[in-house]
Structure 1
Amino acid sequence: MCSDSLQSEDLRSSSDSDEELPVFDFLQPRPSTDVASQKAPKKPASSVLCSVGSADVMMISSDSEDDVPLAQRVKLRQERRSTPEEADDLPHRHLSASETGDATKATKRSAEEIRASREEALRRRQARERRQQDREALKQEQERQKAERRALAEASKSLRPEECIKHMVVAVDPALLQLEGGGTLLASVQALGCSCAIEKQPLPRSVTWARQAPSAQQNGAARVPEPHVVMQMTVEDFITLIHNYIQEERHSGSACSPTLTSWVRERQRLHPDKRLSLAVIELESYFRARKSRSQKRLRAAVAGEEAGGGKEKKKRRSGHAEKLPEVSRVEVEEAVVHLQLHTGVSVRFLSTWKEFSDHITMTTKAVAEAPFKRAREQTGFSFYLESEWAGGQRVDKAGKGLLQAWKRQIQQFNRVSSDVAAAILAAYPSPQLLKKAYSQCRTENEKLSLLSDLLIRRGEGVTSTTRRVGPELSKRLFLLMHSRDPEQNLDASL
């Protein structure tokens, strides 16, 4: 199409040679100042105007820029015209690029600062972590101390009489439950409100105790064993040991069988931390059977029967139960006293298994309340008496109670009753008044006998009697008020 236009232009120029074409400024050749343009030969610029339809399309051709295509040059010119701001930014962009070296130097200079800031941040983080760990450790320590205080409070509370029985554990040997009264014993212990444990004990047929001490840990309680042990001894073993003791005493120690005392000593040697006590059930049945046999032998002797005829048959029928040795009540008491003197072990004789269960129940209560009673008895003064009178007299801020305090101070003397103290109190209602009366006396003897003539009245009406305080009490009160010797004996005569 452009070629057709050129041909038409040529024809038109040939037909009308006098007509001149329009000249555009931007199509004129421009002088080039760069070195490349000076060396390269200059080529004439040409421009062609093409007509496409109703729109005129301008084609620009220039040989001044050899390496850049014409379309790109036109596009570049249009972009520069449409966005002048970007063109204004080019020098700044070029300036920033020129300062790249300075920025690199600035970055290199601040590397140490960056490293220092990182180290500072690391130190701060470590310090925060240490503070957090310290806070957690402090919190754990506070919780531990709180748990210990709570455990101490629980331990103190568990020693009270109304609470101590709940923290007791009664351990029963299984062999004891297999006997006749085992069920009764177990029911009595459970009804008491304490815990019951069926455990094999070092001593057969015995009952031991332990206390559940509150621990600082959550839901923790340690079992502290108690030294008390109650051992049930059968009548057969008890009578045999006593018979051996009697034989040893009669033959001056020639018997080799264990006696009651030697048997208990062996148990104490094996279990030195235990405090043993014995319980014998139905010993009276043995004495009743022995008395019955003695009466039968007496009747048989009176009737002229043979001494052992019928008895041998009974022994063969009853077996080993009838072969117990003969021991009297006096011999039993002698062996028990010997046992208590040499080992400190007591023996409890019970008639039925119900009494044995009651004995275990009472012992459980006594063991449970023992720490509380021991703590109450530790007053710090050997002469302090746990009684209502020795509790002291309360005196309020207004002075109420001073008169009774002075009366009790007088009553602390031996053989001074309430009537005697009331007689002295009526004459001298306070120690200051008595001291003033002593100061008014002129001689020492007058001071010693100041209270001798005071009357003491007993009873009322016609049955009332009177007597005097006397010189002895008067001397003791004088020593109380004037002696400077803390070891002064108030009962000593002057």
Structure 2
Amino acid sequence: MSVLRRAITWEISESEDSDHDLKSEFNCDVICQKETADSRGEPEALSLQEKPTNLPSSPAKSDSRVALSAPEACGGTPGPARKRRSREEIEATRLKAKEEREERERQRAARAREKEERKREQQRRREAAETLNSLRPENCIKSLTVCIEPALLQHDGSDILLDTLAMLEWRFTVESQRLSRSITWTRDLPQVEDGQARVEEEEQMVLVLTLADFVDVVISVKEMVDSDGEETGTVLSPLLERLNWNKVVTMLVTDFESDHWMKEYFPEQMLRTKLGMKDQDVEEVLVYLQLYKNISVVFLESWQDITNHVCAVTKALSKRPFKLLTERTELPFCVVGSWASGARVGRDGSGLRDVWVRQIQQLNRVSPAVAAAVAEAFPSPRILLQAYQNSGSEAEKKGMLAGLSVKTEGKERRVGPDISARMYRSLTAENPQLVLD
């Protein structure tokens, strides 16, 4: 109360500086008084009622300045000072942030590499599946093209071949080839990275000959045989040159002049009759072409038989890539069959006894009954090995299984010392080259 009375008796100066000092002091006194009242437990309303009645000449301006006065004028408690970090701490923080950033970059790069590797693996699997699908006979035959030499179409009945190929929707072309009256096959290979299609010529070739043409071939072969295999300038020379390109040639010999063969004769006999050759001469020519030149000779009656032969070769060529792929497996000798199928083992261990029985049956001259008898006495290989370890001498170990009873078709016999000794050697031998028998 004394502070308020002293403030009322002050003389207010007309100068701006004295007015400012007065108001600052007044604000400080009011705040200090409020704090004292709070410390004494006096209500805030009482302190507000004891405000002086005589205020400066501009009460609005004075009230606003009182409201905006800062508590620091009374010496309030300052905030906590911010601790300055040392240069080593700043450098350590910078290095830690850099390491974290580099670690995030490495993780991002690793995820990108894994994603790219997964894409490449998926692409490889897709390409492998497409390649495998294209090698199947029903799809592979679509990539084959039958190339027919135009000279063959001059014979009557050649339209049977063209109509059959068109009916089967197989691709064929009529184009000139190095050997007259020949039929070859080409295969379209999968496109490479540059996008260019490649064509591969098959090694099979069919040569359609008349009886007169085959007579010239026989004469050429006889001359070659008489000259100890020396090739002369005969009609066979272009064909032999073709054979040097790893071609497998099949000669289809037929008589286009006659409507049909005589039913009482075979084609070979008909040929000998028309040529007037001895059986020994014809056989000698056929054997020479087959063994020394890899040329097969087939005697046919008509264009229908030639068409059937061409279709059979085309189907065989379509099946060849898939067969070669299946033959390149790890165990090509394991064919599909009940004896080659394995025993299924469940998660609960069911089926392990069947595996043990099949393992015993792998030994030579061990029947399923003997394997079942051994498996019944020793349900697992570990039990049998423990029995071997608990036995005394080597002879006892070899003859441990000899007395087991084997029942087959109502008869009872023993396993025998031979099988018992082989079982012991197969489970305990350390030499992988040891012959059990």
User: TM-score, normalising length from structure 1?
Assistant: 0.55
Q: Which amino acid aligns with 2:132?
A: S
| Aligned CA distance change for structure 1 residues 217 and 179 (closer, same or farther; 3 Å) | farther
Q: Give how far 1:223 is off.
A: 2.8
In structure 2, relative to structure 1, the CA distance for the partners of 1:251 and 1:157 (3 Å cut) is closer
Aligned length: 310
C-alpha change, 1:186 and 1:366, in structure 2 (3 Å) is same
Q: Quote the residue 2:139 is aligned against.
A: 163
Give the TM-score, by structure 2 length: 0.61
Indicate if the aligned counterparts of 2:272 and 2:278 stay in contact, CA closer than 8 A: no
Q: Which residue of 1 aligns with 2:202?
A: 226
- Seen in structure 2, the aligned counterparts of structure 1 residues 457 and 259 have a Cα distance that, compared at 3 Å, is farther
How has the CA–CA distance of structure 1 residues 432 and 205 changed in structure 2, closer, same or farther, with 3 Å as cutoff?
same
- 1:350–1:425 distance in 2 versus 1, CA, 3 Å: farther
Q: Contact 1:210–1:226 at 8 Å: present in 2 too?
A: yes
2:289 counterpart of 1:339: yes
Pair 1:394 & 2:314 matched:
no
Q: Report the Cα offset of residue 445 of structure 1.
A: 0.8
Report the CA distance between 1:248 and its aligned residue.
6.0
Write the mapping of 1:32-51 to structure 2, written as runs, cut at 5 A: none
| Residues 423-462 of structure 1 mapped to structure 2, 5 A cutoff | 423-459=373-409
Offset of residue 273 of structure 1: 4.4
Q: Distance in 1 between matches of 2:123 and 2:386?
A: 60
- Asked if 1:483 corresponds to 2:433, the answer is no
Contact map agreement 1:151 1:216 (CA 8 A) in 2:
no
* 1:289 to 1:209, Cα distance in 2 relative to 1, 3 A: closer
Matched, 1:385 2:385: no
Mapping 1:30-179, distance limit 5 Å:
153-179=129-155
Q: Give CA deviations for 1:69-107 in whole Å, capped at 9, x if unaligned.
A: xxxxxxxxxxxxxxxxxxxxxxxxxxxxxxxxxxxxxxx
Q: Deviations along 1:283-340, whole A, 9 cap, x unmatched? A: 845734765xxxxxxxxxxxxxxxxxxxxxxxxxxxxxxxx64223443222222222
In structure 2, relative to structure 1, the CA distance for the partners of 1:231 and 1:288 (3 Å cut) is: closer
1:390 is paired with a residue whose SS is: coil
> 1:423–1:354: structure 2 CA closer, same or farther, 3 Å change rule?
farther
Q: CA deviation at 1:487?
A: 1.4
Deviation at 1:352, TM superposition (A): 3.1
The CA distance in 2 between the partners of 1:359 and 1:254, in whole Å, is: 32
Distance 1:377 1:258 in 2: 42
Which residue of 1 is the match for residue 189 of structure 2? 213
1:279 counterpart = 2:255: no
Tell me the secondary structure at the aligned position of residue 240 of structure 1: helix
Counterpart in 2 of 1:268?
A: 243
- Please tell me whether residue 412 in structure 1 is matched to residue 412 in structure 2: no
* Inter-CA distance 250–169: structure 2 relative to 1 (3 Å threshold): closer
Structure 1 stretch displaced more, 222-231 or 443-452: 222-231
> What residue number does 2:417 align with?
471
Task: From the superposition, tell whether residues 245 and 400 of structure 1 become closer, same or farther in structure 2 (CA, over 3 Å).
Answer: same
Q: Secondary structure at the match of 2:295?
A: coil
- Secondary structure of 2:298 counterpart: strand
Deviation, structure 1 residue 170: 1.4
Q: Is the 8 A contact 1:214 1:220 kept in 2?
A: no
SS in 1 for 2:340: helix
| Structure 2 unaligned regions, length at least 5 | 1-118, 256-260
Supply the AA of the counterpart residue of 2:345. Answer: V
Q: Secondary structure at the match of 1:447?
A: helix
1:327 aligns with 2:273: no
Partner of 2:40: none
Is the alpha carbon distance of 1:151 and 1:191 closer, same or farther for their aligned partners in structure 2, counting shifts above 3 Å? farther
- SS at 1:188 equivalent: helix
Counterpart selection for 2:317 from 362, 367, 385 = 367
Residues 201/417 of structure 1: CA separation in 2 closer, same or farther (3 Å cut)? farther
- Return the alpha-carbon distance in structure 2 between the equivalents of residues 285 and 226 of structure 1: 29
Residues 180-219 of structure 1: matches in 2 within 5 Å?
Answer: 180-215=156-191
Equivalent residue number for residue 94 of structure 1: none
**Partner Cα distance (1:437, 1:148) in 2:** 52
**Structure possessing the higher radius of gyration over alpha carbons:** 1
What amino acid does structure 1 have at the position aligned with 2:241? E
Deviation per CA, 1:329-383, whole angstroms, max 9, x where unpaired?
Answer: 443222222222212222233333222212111111111111111111112357x
State the shift of 1:457 in Å: 2.7
Decide whether the 8 Å contact of 2:267 with 2:300 is kept in 1. no
Task: Encode CA deviations 1:144-200: one digit per residue, 9 max, x unaligned.
Answer: 999998665433311013322222211112222332342222233233342122222
Give the CA deviation at 1:268: 1.7
Q: Find the residue that maps to 1:398 and give its secondary structure.
A: coil
Where 1:215 maps in the other structure, the secondary structure is coil
The answer to whether the 8 Å contact 2:179/2:239 transfers is no
Contact 1:264 1:343 in 2 (8 A): no
* Percent sequence identity over aligned pairs: 36
Aligned to 1:298: none
Superimposed CA distance per residue, residues 126-147 of structure 1 (whole angstroms, 9 cap, x where no aligned partner): xxxxxxxxxxxxxxxxx99999
Question: What is the distance in 2 between the residues matched to 1:193 and 1:201?
Answer: 23
Aligned mates of 2:417, 2:120 — CA distance in 1: 67
